[in-house]
């Protein structure tokens, strides 16, 4: 795999995580947290790999409020709790999901399956995330799970034609 292909895959993950699937992430955010079960214990190396993938995939750019505006100077304790910034386009308006909350409501297996089969609206590049190796999906899951308190659900996506409250980014229409 070339460096460009690796960047595209990681960017895809970042966007998927950033915007989240309207069905998967928002459904997970609206349900109760999973009861503690027999989840596999992750090693420090696995958790570090998850953190690395999060960083090179730029997940914080969308899933952490004000991350780009603060040049990445956001405490790790605030990472991945969603973002009130909307992405508005022909698909409606999407919001980056709270990945801590989403992961808290999924088993490791459910998380891996979700990343492998995810199909969602822009700007999340779900098609890149679908290509991740199982070990990388698990690493990201375990990193997110160890972050701490999960926080509140992100805003609900809006259908096309419904005016969002600011802040939002107006995405250009696709070329004809």
Q: Say if 169 falls within a structural domain.
A: no
Q: Say if 74 falls within a structural domain.
A: yes
User: Comparing C-alpha atoms, which of 100, 112, 106 is closest to residue 148?
Assistant: 100
Distances (CA, A) of 128 to 42, 115, 150: 24, 10, 26
Task: Provide the pLDDT for residue 10.
Answer: 40
Task: Provide the pLDDT for residue 3.
Answer: 46
Q: Say if 92 falls within a structural domain.
A: yes
Q: Say if 174 falls within a structural domain.
A: no
Rounded to two decimals, the pTM is 0.78
Q: Which band of pLDDT confidence, cut at 50, 70 and 90, is reported for residue 22?
A: very low
Dihedral angle, C-alpha 10, 12, 17, 18, nearest 10 °: 110
Q: Say if 81 falls within a structural domain.
A: yes
Q: pLDDT digits over 103-122, tens only?
A: 999 999 999 999 999 999 88
Q: Say if 173 falls within a structural domain.
A: no
Tell me the residue range of the domain where 19 lies: 3-162
Q: Say if 80 falls within a structural domain.
A: yes
Q: Say if 85 falls within a structural domain.
A: yes
Question: Number of folded domains in the chain?
Answer: 1
Q: pLDDT digits over 44-77, tens only?
A: 999 999 999 999 999 999 999 999 999 999 999 9
Task: Provide the pLDDT for residue 158.
Answer: 97
Average pLDDT, the chain: 84
Task: Provide the pLDDT for residue 37.
Answer: 58
């Amino acid at each position: 795999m070339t460096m460009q292909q690796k960047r595209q895959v990681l960017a895809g993950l970042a966007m998927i995580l950033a915007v989240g699937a309207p069905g998967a992430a928002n459904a997970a955010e609206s349900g109760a947290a999973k009861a503690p079960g027999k989840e596999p214990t992750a090693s420090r190396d696995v958790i570090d790999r998850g953190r690395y993938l999060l960083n090179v995939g730029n997940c914080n750019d969308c899933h952490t409020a004000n991350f780009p505006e603060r040049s990445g100077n956001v405490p790790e304790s605030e990472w991945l709790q969603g973002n009130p910034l909307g992405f508005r386009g022909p698909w409606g308006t999407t919001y980056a999901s709270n990945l801590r909350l989403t992961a808290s409501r999924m088993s490791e297996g459910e998380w891996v399956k979700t990343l492998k089969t995810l199909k969602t609206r822009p700007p999340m590049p779900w098609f890149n995330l679908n290509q991740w190796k199982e070990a990388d999906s698990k690493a990201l899951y375990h990193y997110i799970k160890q972050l701490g308190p999960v926080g509140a659900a992100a805003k609900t996506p809006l259908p096309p034609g419904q005016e969002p409250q600011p802040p939002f980014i107006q995405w250009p229409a696709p070329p004809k």
